Amino acid sequence: MALASGTRVGIYEVTAKIGEGGMGEVYQARDTTLDRDVALKVLPEAFTADPDRLARFQREAKVLASLNHPNIGGIYGLESSGDAQALVLELIEGPTLADRIAKGPIPVDETLAIAKQIAEALEAAHEQGIIHRDLKPANVKVKADGTVKVLDFGLAKAVTSDAASGSATTSATMSLTASATQMGMVVGTAAYMAPEQAKGTPVDKRADIWSFGVVLLEMLSGQRLFTGETASETLAAVMMKEPDWDRLFTDLPVHVSTLVRSCLEKDPRERLRDIGDVRFAMKGVFGPSVDRLTEQAGPVPFASRPAQLLIAALGLVAVALGLFGWLGQPAPPAVGLTRASISLPPGHALSGGPEITRDGQRVAFVSSDGNGQPRIYTRRLDESELSELDGTEEARQIFFSPDGRWIAFYARGGFFKVRVDAGEPVRLADASTSEGGYWLDDGTILFTPAWNSGLFRIDEDGGEPEPFLIPDRTSSYAITWPSVLPGGREMLFSRWSGSAQAVMRLDLTDMTESVVVPGHWRRSRFVSSGHIVFAGDGGDILALPNEQGAASTLTPEPVLENVDGGGIDGYARMAVSDNGTLVYSPLDLSKSSLVVVDQSGGLEPVDVPLGTYEQLSLSPGGRRVAIMSNFELFIHDLDRGSRIPLVPELTQDGDQQRPVWSVDGTRVIFASNHDGSWRLYSKAASGAGEVEPLLDGRFDLYPTAALADGTIFYEENNDISSDLWYLPPGGAPEPWLTTAAEERQARPSPSERTMAYVTEVSARLEVSIQSIDRSSDPVLVSTAGGTSPQWSPSGDHLYFRNGHRMMVTEVSTEPVLQATVPRVVFEGGWELSDLTVFQERWDLLPDNRFLMVNHEPEAVPTKINVIFNWLDELRDRVPVP
């Protein structure tokens, strides 16, 4: 939230903006009561929108405010004004230590004076059970008078003061660490982290000891120590490289070498436990005290004996991390395969990506905390800062430009691009759906304006889209997931025919096609090891050698398991950089079940086997439930626990989804694509009899509800948006609500007088109500996002989802149609809710309880796995001739 100069936040008047980052925007302000200048760090809106997280942060901020020390940037308090929530901080003038180091080596006497103050700041924090976890030169300021201030304890972690076990508690973790500021691989910056941080394991104050040594060494050398071309080289060296201790300790006394090895042990259990011990170690190397040395020493050249001893004692950090270059030693051998992970904060769920730049430096993904629309987040792998990209609400299926500076994405009926560093998104074209895309080296982009439109090509600066590859409608009905091979002569894509998605190769010189591998495969990609990788059913990633004309005769080999296939859109959430860094979202949807949730949020399990439950719809009496699992429909009897397939005769020819019951409970209406596109059908709920075709059309159709007279309401996904139509019995289709915006999920009230539905309002999906004959004006029910409306049996309450919240409003029709302000019924992530509209993962029972899909922890996409140097493993598993 940008604040203009003169804006008041409580008693503070903003005077200027002085910076921004993942933790929010920073402003200089004037305390109008005490007449002093302060810094205001305005917290991100996505963070402050969650009352629980904000309350938890406020409690923990009090802990950090207790750090009253002359070498720690002070926290004066918390202030709020309207929607703005800000930390009030001490305003500290002067350059950062990073600015000083950028100018060259810092003299030893000055280095030691700075290091002493840093150590004292850390010691004061550690004594109160708080660790920094992101100590680096950019988080240290040096004032004109030489006073040092350690900043940004917003990445700190409160731990118990009793460190005997060396473990950290989770009850007092600074909220910004695990939320808007840090969806990172680990908390901290790769160049300064301890080995246990690089592994993503819990850390304690000994991690600060490691970081302290790296900072000290950078002050003496004047160089950024960790300058590997990729994050993998840095992280792998931190975790895996062991220095040659015998060679390094040749000139050191035994007691000093023992002390240093204790300080730099990779295993934190063997490392010195207190920063005071490090100060003692410095005394042992330099003489009686650091203070005396600082007082007695004049300017000392970098290569002087004290500096050499300091490098020998504390420069082992650089050796331990494999950075020999600046010391004149040979470079370490190439590091091997390394695994890490990016953990999303509690309440967040991945809904798009991950993607990675070609050079492997930056990742991007779409995530929502359940309280707002999904947005794009991005960060470099070698840094801790995470950026939320403004204006990317409802983003889907993102991909990078060749240089990694832009991200293309679909959202809100359009196709956009946005810079990774700043700026508003640029709308390039209309797009009603999102079926992948590719940014070509020549400055044009391939994208899909509509589900079955085929591929179009547009200039990266906009313009009129031109057809590029269009399905012929006879042998296929959709073309998706383009991926251009290096050199730009060939392209991979998926061709849909019925339920099959064959991986195809297109020769771009003459536009001839050939089958790479037939069957049901998704999202093929070329990787620089000479392989083609693609997603299969069941969460597997498979690979084939990239051999022109021969791949279709080979058997795809699985190379990765339990990868999120993206649910109903079939979007395999994985990407590989040119240098072999793999990022993917692990997910096992087979670990799902059903639960009944009461009005207070109490949970009662339903006796069903673990399975893949993606959509459900309760029969009118609430005794049976229609379930979509792996695009097959089943009818499950909740009383007997029995289950029958609804349309096994269609399973081999296509997929089925979106089941809706007739009002009398005798039939189930559903969508199937067994003839090429999604059309409406029905069948007896007993499974007996024939499938009845209901409606064919030019666009994809999905049922949403049925009336007592047999009228069926459905969504029509056209080339621009989704509209609501209805089909009267024996009649022709009629439009109910058709606008340029999205309209979905029509739900008639039990009296069939009022319709609830989801519509797009100011680029956000909201729940509205209107008389079913549309004689009244629409009434907006939700105001902060809403999907999946369901009426209570009495019809006077309307429930809907807002992220992980179950909301309810009271509806009345007299004297006019109106609804009360929605209130929260309960919160819980039992069903994967990211404000998408394709998945119906809950329904209302006759007793006003809720039947919901319950995903086991491993079934919720809450982290991104990273494998560095994955191509070596890929070559071993699938050799390239």
Among all residues, which ones are annotated catalytic?
134
Check if the beta carbon of residue 259 is closer than 8 Å to that of residue 284: yes
Run of H or E including 235: helix 231-240
Helices then strands (H, E): number in the chain? 15, 59
DSSP string, 262-301: HHS-SSGGGS---HHHHHHHHHHHHSS-HHHHHHH-----
How far, in Å, CA of 255 to CA of 712, rounded?
84
Place of tokens 């591998």: 517
Residue 767's nearest CA partner among 791, 813, 737, 800 is 800
Please enumerate, as own/partner, the contacts of 22-28 that have beta carbons within 8 Å and a separation of 24 or more.
22/180, 22/181, 22/182, 22/379, 22/384, 22/385, 22/386, 22/387, 22/388, 23/152, 23/154, 23/176, 23/180, 23/181, 24/180, 24/181, 25/1, 27/3, 28/91
Q: Where are the beta strands (DSSP E) in 662-771?
A: 667-672, 679-684, 692-695, 700-706, 712-717, 722-727, 734-737, 743-748, 754-761, 764-771
Return the structure tokens found at 735.
């439009």
Residue 759 corresponds to which amino acid?
T
Q: How far is CA 418 from CA 388, 401, 404, 411, 429, in A?
A: 12, 10, 11, 12, 13
How far, in Å, CA of 33 to CA of 592, rounded?
56
Return the structure tokens found at 6.
């003169």
How far, in Å, CA of 390 to CA of 309, rounded?
49
How far, in Å, CA of 191 to CA of 217, rounded?
12
Residue 568 corresponds to which amino acid?
I
Sign of dihedral through CA atoms 514, 518, 523, 524? negative
Place of tokens 């983003």: 395
How far, in Å, CA of 208 to CA of 4, rounded?
37
The angle formed by the CA atoms of residues 181, 85 and 821, to the nearest 5 degrees, is 105
Residue 154's nearest CA partner among 182, 127, 129, 128 is 182
Peptide bond into 815 cis (omega under 30): yes
How far, in Å, CA of 396 to CA of 399, rounded?
10
Check if the beta carbon of residue 217 is closer than 8 Å to that of residue 314: yes
What HEC string does 838-873 produce? CCCCEEECCCCCEEEEEECHHHCCCEEEEEECHHHH
Check if the beta carbon of residue 271 is closer than 8 Å to that of residue 210: yes
The angle formed by the CA atoms of residues 112, 189 and 331, to the nearest 5 degrees, is 80
Kind of pairing, strands 130-131 and 157-158? antiparallel
Q: How far is CA 686 from CA 181, 637, 824, in A?
A: 52, 11, 37
SS3 state of residue 785? coil
Question: What number of residues does the chain have?
Answer: 881
- What angle do helix axes 206-221 and 108-127 make, rounded to 10 degrees? 170
Cβ burial, residue 235 (10 Å; 0-12/13-18/19+): buried
Check if the beta carbon of residue 528 is closer than 8 Å to that of residue 582: no
